[in-house]
Amino acid sequence: MTENKYDREAAERQAAWIAEARKLGTEAGENAAAWWEGSNPPGPKQAQRVLDAIADGDPEIMDVLPRPDLSGEWADEPTPRSLFEDVTGADAHAEASWNWDAYHATVDELCSAWEDGAADAVQRAVERQCRAALGLNEMEEARRRRYLETESS
């Protein structure tokens, strides 16, 4: 089956919307991490514990890190509906009324992209903050982790 011009344009538009949603999530994650650092600057011991937990994939670390979400709990925070409208420029009510399934599928994809962007940005920013608290850069931290791994084996 050959792809027609309209299918290609729709796929390109959808990809652009997903990229925009991820970008907005990344911004939210960076803002949340900045807030976390400002209200809870990590000391060396906490910074080391956080870095180790992230490197080990410890799920409990997620309880310590900020978690931006699409709940709209605060007045200026996004919701799935506002994310859809901001990214697509379309009216959520009209789209949901016209094609419920397509609207919800698009909202699900946009929300997933936003949440992935937010989570990745939080982790990167918190790691950067913790390395700074320890006076390390990424290269030094990688070297330190390799050394610890060889010592423990």
31 domain residue, yes or no: no
Please write the tens of the pLDDT for every residue from 117-134: 999 999 999 988 888 888
Report whether 113 contacts 21 (CB < 8 A): yes
The secondary structure of 84-111 as a DSSP string is HHHHH-S-HHHHHHH-HHHHHHHHHHHH
Rg of the chain's alpha carbons, rounded to an integer? Answer: 20
Number of domains in the chain: 1
88 domain residue, yes or no: yes
Give the pLDDT band of residue 7 (cuts 50, 70, 90): confident
123 domain residue, yes or no: yes
Please write the tens of the pLDDT for every residue from 78-121: 999 999 999 999 999 998 888 899 999 999 999 999 999 999 99
Q: CA dist 108 to 6, 29, 61, 71, 104, Å? A: 22, 19, 26, 14, 6
User: How high is the pLDDT of residue 144?
Assistant: 66
Give the domain range for residue 148.
41-152
What percent of the chain has pLDDT above 70? 91
State mean pLDDT over 11-37.
Answer: 94
Q: CA dist 36 to 32, 74, 84, 130, Å? A: 6, 16, 27, 11
- Both structure tokens of 133: 């608290």
Across 34-48, 59-73, 99-113, the highest mean pLDDT is recorded for: 99-113
121 domain residue, yes or no: yes
pLDDT at position 1 over 70: no
25 domain residue, yes or no: no
Mean pLDDT of the chain: 87
81 domain residue, yes or no: yes
The better pLDDT of the pair 137, 61 is held by 61
